[in-house]
Amino acid sequence: MDQVNDENPRIILGEHKITRNLPTTETILDQTFNIKSFKKSLRIVIVRYTDTPLEMEFDIIGMHPFLANTFRRLMLSDVPSMAVEKVHVYNNTSIIQDEVLCHRLGLIPLRADPRMFDYRSNDSEGTEQDTLEFELKIKCTWNKDENKDSSRVDDMYKNNNVYSKHIKWLPIGNQSETYKPADVGPIDDDILIAKMRPGHELDLKLIAVKGIGRDHAKFSPVATAFYRLLPDIKLTREVEGEAAERLKKCFSPGVIGLRHKEGRTVAVVENSRYDSSSRNIFRHDDLKDAVIMTKIQDHFIFSIESVGAMPPDIIFTEAVKILRNKCVSLLEELEQV
């Protein structure tokens, strides 16, 4: 169980350690980076793309781990988005402190496409090219139209819950000719901001600018962005009957299946992709030698969930562009030296 006879770079998961498989041919992990061999071996396969949530799962095959991690970090920290940066509080008589309220407003994701806006310098006034303005004016009052005998909060009060739908966009310059409120406002209308009671009032002005997650997490365009190595499960011998049932329970659902063969129940590998590397198999002395658990080191499963401003495929493309620009800048600096 120490080696797997193929040419994929792998790590082998043992009971108490991991070891690396050593293919007879050179792999991308052993090569000095070469753009021609990299382009020849690289493959990208879209596995899943959903609209609700806005999420994508895809495989990158034939890539070195340092590049995979680079793209992950770029998506989290360097791909920009629009978010509320400043809040002018003209009136806040709710029980939420100004600082907490402003923090909550900053974390509300906006639909505004950051590619349509410029970065705003610290000492400049906002313009239609780099700033979005919103206002939140709402006051909680008694609801005199409803049944007075009702004890339901929603029947007793008006505007007792403040949602993101109450935020109104204030176009700057000619922004109204280019955008619609639905193009730049909050992603969802039902994000709860505060709870109020009669006499409580909010009068706020919100300033949204373009930024990156490196400066603040609210500017990160992704809810999650991560990758994992592709698992691979191989059976070294036939496992049947009650042992096959136990073998199936040792892995995540969908990894091991049961097949009927000549009146017997036999365990087979259905889809190694779903394996979580739990190693429960090593709890069974009669089964631990029946399975080889490995991970392919140049096959990455990426999962990207967007907050909504940009689709996940665009976010990944933007990360690639940012890396390219960083490389160009570095080469220019080296030439000057």
CATH number at residue 35: 3.30.1360.10
pLDDT for 25: 66
Q: Which helix (H) or strand (E) holds 276?
A: none
Does residue 155 have a pLDDT over 90? no
pLDDT (mean) for 250-261: 94
Please report the DSSP string for 5-37 in residue order: SSSS-EEEE-SS-EEE---SS--TTTSPP-HHH
CATH of the domain at 185: 2.170.120.12
- The band of 197, judged by pLDDT with boundaries at 50, 70 and 90, is very high
Domain count, the chain: 2
Q: Same domain, yes or no, for 154 and 174?
A: yes
Name the residue range of residue 36's domain.
Answer: 10-78+224-236+290-302
User: What Cα–Cα distance (Å) separates residue 195 from each residue in 201, 239, 252, 280?
Assistant: 10, 59, 42, 47
- The band of 267, judged by pLDDT with boundaries at 50, 70 and 90, is very high
Residue 47 domain flag = yes
Does residue 265 have a pLDDT over 80? yes
Does residue 112 have a pLDDT over 70? yes
Residue 257 domain flag = no
Does residue 205 have a pLDDT over 60? yes
Q: Same domain, yes or no, for 73 and 181?
A: no
Which structure tokens are listed for 149?
Answer: 């005998």
Which structure tokens are listed for 107?
Answer: 């974390």
Q: Same domain, yes or no, for 191 and 121?
A: yes
Alpha-carbon distance of 162 to 221, in angstroms, equals 24
Which structure tokens are listed for 11?
Answer: 């790590």
Q: Same domain, yes or no, for 113 and 96?
A: yes
Q: Same domain, yes or no, for 68 and 45?
A: yes
- Residue keyed to tokens 């962005």: 225
pTM of model > 0.85: yes
Which structure tokens are listed for 183?
Answer: 């193009």
pLDDT (mean) for 191-213: 96
Q: Chain-wide mean pLDDT for the chain? A: 91
Alpha-carbon distance of 114 to 132, in angstroms, equals 11
Alpha-carbon distance of 68 to 229, in angstroms, equals 10
Cα 54 from chain centre: 9
**Sign of the dihedral defined by the CA atoms of residues 153, 154, 155, 156, in that order:** positive
Q: Same domain, yes or no, for 203 and 88?
A: yes
Q: Same domain, yes or no, for 29 and 131?
A: no
Cβ count near 220 (within 10 Å): 25
pLDDT (mean) for 150-168: 91
pLDDT for 285: 93
- Residue keyed to tokens 């070294």: 236
Q: pLDDT tens across 11-47, in order?
A: 999 988 988 876 666 666 666 667 777 788 899 999 9
Q: Same domain, yes or no, for 42 and 86?
A: no
Q: Same domain, yes or no, for 200 and 230?
A: no
φ, ψ for residue 181, nearest 5 deg: -55, -35
pLDDT for 31: 61
Does residue 212 have a pLDDT over 80? yes
pLDDT for 1: 44
Quote the Cα angle for 305-307-308, to 5°.
105
pLDDT (mean) for 54-75: 94
pLDDT (mean) for 312-316: 96
Does residue 159 have a pLDDT over 90? yes
Q: Same domain, yes or no, for 103 and 207?
A: yes
pLDDT (mean) for 115-134: 90
Among the listed ranges 15-29, 84-98, 194-208, which one has the minimum average pLDDT value? 15-29
| % of residues, the chain, pLDDT over 90 | 77
- The band of 2, judged by pLDDT with boundaries at 50, 70 and 90, is very low
Which residues contact residue 319 at a Cβ distance below 8 angstroms, ignoring those fewer than 6 apart?
Answer: 71, 74, 75, 78, 79
